């Protein structure tokens, strides 16, 4: 325990000083800004339809296929 200007400074007091330091506040503000930015970009992407997976359907067997598929993964029929 260290005594300075009549106050006892122990582990609890030093913990309060660390938590209240400006660097922790800056880190908290930065992390919050990153989270808000990522959420808004994700929302914008979903609104534009870029986040959705467009499904193609095979005419022969009816299986769902990704948009870039050339042939059906189930029956091998050429998608067109």
Residues 44, 71, single domain; the answer is no
Model-level pTM? 0.36
Domain count, the chain: 2
* Digit-coded pLDDT (tens) for 4-58: 454 455 555 555 555 556 788 889 999 999 999 998 888 887 776 654 567 889 9
SS3 label, residue 7: strand
pLDDT for 45 equals 76
Domain that holds residue 66: 54-80
3-state secondary structure of 51: coil
Same domain, 7 and 41: yes
Residue-wise pLDDT tens digits, 66-80: 888 999 999 999 998
Cα gap 38→50, rounded to integer Å = 15
**How many Å apart are CA 19 and CA 27, to the nearest integer?**
11
Query: Could you tell me if 37 and 59 lie in one domain?
Result: no
């Amino acid at each position: 325990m260290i005594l300075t200007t009549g106050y006892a400074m122990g582990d609890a007091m030093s913990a309060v000083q660390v938590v209240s330091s400006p660097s922790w506040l800056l880190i908290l503000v930065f992390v919050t800004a990153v989270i808000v930015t990522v959420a808004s970009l994700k929302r914008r992407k979903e609104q534009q339809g870029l986040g959705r997976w467009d499904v193609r359907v095979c005419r022969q067997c009816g299986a769902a296929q990704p948009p870039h598929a050339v042939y059906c993964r189930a029956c091998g029929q050429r998608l067109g």
